[in-house]
Amino acid sequence: QVQVVESGGGSVQPGGSLRLSCAASGSIPIRYVMGWYRQAPGKQRELVATNTLGAIQSRANYGDAVRGRFTISRDNAKKTVYLQMNNLAPEDTGVYYCKFRNLDTRDESWGQGTQVTVSS
């Protein structure tokens, strides 16, 4: 179906920045949403940011913990979503997963995740 691959994770100090990328491939529909979720050890996966991709319109949504610090953007031609993470804090540490959702069929695809570690 659709495959997504994340990249850009790493280890940074508090206050630092990282830029994550998620590229989709396969049978990509016209209407879909791509976004980022994260999961700390022993915790449930939570929303980071999503971006609904369509032929004309787009819409961004952010989790409360990251709003104002993270920015999601897209490249429709490349079927790629980016997550610019600024002013990172230790609480941002976790595995960041890219999610692809087909808005017509409701099918979902998840990437394998990329580790983000924020520590001194």
Per run of 10 residues, the mean pLDDT along the chain (length 120 residues) is 96 98 94 94 94 73 96 90 97 97 94 97
Instruction: Tell me the residue type at 10.
Output: G
To the nearest 10°, report the CA torsion of 115, 14, 20, 33.
90
Structure tokens at 22: 């998620």
Give me the pLDDT at residue 1, please: 86
Which pLDDT value is given to residue 53?
66
Residue 35, token pair as written in the block: 């976004």
Task: Say what the pLDDT of residue 19 is.
Answer: 98
Specify the amino acid at residue 56: I
Cβ–Cβ < 8 Å for 49, 66:
yes
Asked if residue 6 lies in contact with residue 114, where contact means CB atoms within 8 angstroms, the answer is yes
Judged by DSSP in three states, 90 sits in helix
Instruction: Give pLDDT, residue 41.
Output: 87
pLDDT computed for residue 25 by the predictor: 96
- Look at residues 43, 22, 45 and name the one whose alpha carbon lies nearest to residue 33: 22
How many other CB atoms sit within 10 Å of the CB of residue 119?
10
How confident is the model at residue 56, as a pLDDT? 66
